[in-house]
Structure 1
Amino acid sequence: MEEKKLTGKIARERIRLMEAPRPDPNLIEGFKELGHASGILSDIMDELGIAGVLPASLYRPTIADACIVGPALTVRNIMQREHAYETARAHVNKMAEFEAHNLAHRGDVLVIAGVSGVSNIGGISAQTGKRQGEAGAIVSGGIRDVDHSRSVGYPVWSTEITPVTGKWRIETVEINGDIELHGVRVSPGDIVFADETGICFIPQARAAEVLELARKKYEAEQRKCALIDRGTPVSDLPGNA
């Protein structure tokens, strides 16, 4: 039986913005230069009163040592009303993250406010995202085919891993709109920074301010580490850890 997907017209109706606001590429490069710095960014965001940090103990990365930075490309999924066995028999697929892949710019990070207990992105979708130049994905909800996404070098941070498909169970209701992940609001074009420690969602309007302070903290920590390596007594080290 042929799979019945959302038609192009219906899927496109779910796109809030065809072109999300783009952050300055120099900002993206600046955050990349910090390396694995989610801890530094979390400290700076605390000081500035910006809520936007989620732990890797909740959003686990599929690729060890992965670190990505890029603008958010957002997707919002909900559970279909119809029973999964009925939609499976009829081959009705209402997922539309491939429309998000169609909109992707090189370096974008797919951010999915998804459904728990089922897969919101699988291996073929991950491979498509990689082909489109995406840096990776953040998923609130399940994912599957981890070996596939890992083999193509497409890191995913997710709250769950499951073999249960979402294509008979999920409906994509919005692309490139504001979403929320565990109390953190994410808008299209916000800067996503993810490493093995956690994820920082940096509002585009505050990104330059965050980066400036993060650079200063990073440089201070590098100087402190150099002093530790040289054997400087703990009592003589500047500041607190």
Structure 2
Amino acid sequence: MLEAFRHVEVASVSDALEQIAGQRMYMTHRMQPIFPSKFAGFAITVLLKKAEGNNDPAALSGMLAAIDQGQAGSVYIMVVEDGANIAGMGGLMGTTMWARGFAGAVIDGGVRDVGHLRKIGFPVFALGMVPSTSVNHYRFAGANIPVVCDGVRVEAADIVVADNDGVVVVPRARAEQVLALAQEMDFKEHSMYPYIEKYKSIEEAVKKFGRL
């Protein structure tokens, strides 16, 4: 199923979810890739909570364990509480995810060491690039628990799809139904491009294919 999700447009997945579930399951325009990327994978969720002045050396160990226990094809979903200006991950964590075959990472917070992440080709979506650290400012608050990432609820093993249009979360229970409708939408839309080029009318194309 993941392979099929890797070949559909994220916009079609978003539209399919809205029709089937009546929900907005896409993240906002703030969630941006560090380089053009397309991936799909099963969510591993991690939550960090503020803990200013925390000197416990084990305060963040859980976020590292979640990586070391993750399987190939995973998408690391991290929520950093009020963390737009805090780097939730950087080159060391990203290199480990890359070495373990993760599909990508989505950080509701910042990211750093972007040059290295681009060099190894590990895709990350984040709220921005910042040089800061979570060490001594945050503590690990749980892994593979429900989180709200950039306004979207994510549970462990949900399917996360991302491309240059953004990030969408597909609840596992809806995955097959959403995939089938998204594939149908893709087929219609991709058929419309040559039709529009030939007849030079979007109105006629929408009337014929029923997709906008």
Alignment partner of 2:49 out of 55, 78, 85? 78
**For residues 234 and 137 of structure 1, do their structure 2 counterparts lie closer, same or farther at Cα, with a shift above 3 Å needed?**
closer
> Are 1:126 and 2:94 counterparts?
yes
CA distance in 2, matches of 1:180, 1:125: 21
Question: For 1:54, what is the secondary structure of its paired residue?
Answer: coil
Unmatched segments (≥5 aa) in structure 2:
none
Alignment partner of 1:196 out of 159, 164, 183? 164
Q: What residue is the counterpart of 2:104 in the other structure? A: 136
Amino acid at match of 2:45: T
CA distance in 2, matches of 1:138, 1:235: 37
Query: C-alpha offsets along residues 117-158 of structure 1, whole Å, 9 cap, x if unaligned?
Result: 211101111001100110110000121111111111111111
The answer on whether the counterparts of 1:93 and 1:167 sit within 8 Å (CA) in structure 2 is no
Deviation at 1:41, TM superposition (A): 1.4
CA distance in 2, matches of 1:50, 1:236: 30
**For residues 236 and 114 of structure 1, do their structure 2 counterparts lie closer, same or farther at Cα, with a shift above 3 Å needed?**
same
**For residues 162 and 132 of structure 1, do their structure 2 counterparts lie closer, same or farther at Cα, with a shift above 3 Å needed?**
same
Unmatched segments (≥5 aa) in structure 1:
1-26
Deviation at 1:200, TM superposition (A): 0.5
When the two structures are aligned, how many residues end up with a matched partner? 205
Alignment partner of 1:94 out of 56, 59, 62? 59
The answer on whether the counterparts of 2:79 and 2:148 sit within 8 Å (CA) in structure 1 is yes
> Are 1:110 and 2:94 counterparts?
no
CA distance in 1, matches of 2:24, 2:203: 34
The answer on whether the counterparts of 2:31 and 2:150 sit within 8 Å (CA) in structure 1 is no
> Are 1:59 and 2:31 counterparts?
yes
- Between the two proteins, what is the percent identity of the paired residues? 26
Q: What residue is the counterpart of 1:23 in the other structure? A: none
Q: What residue is the counterpart of 1:47 in the other structure? A: 19
Question: For 2:27, what is the secondary structure of its paired residue?
Answer: strand
Q: Which has the larger radius of gyration?
A: 1
Deviation at 1:229, TM superposition (A): 3.0
The answer on whether the counterparts of 2:189 and 2:211 sit within 8 Å (CA) in structure 1 is no
**For residues 144 and 235 of structure 1, do their structure 2 counterparts lie closer, same or farther at Cα, with a shift above 3 Å needed?**
closer
> Are 1:32 and 2:6 counterparts?
yes
Amino acid at match of 1:226: P
TM-score, normalised via structure 2 length: 0.90
Alignment partner of 1:222 out of 173, 187, 190? 190
The answer on whether the counterparts of 1:104 and 1:133 sit within 8 Å (CA) in structure 2 is no
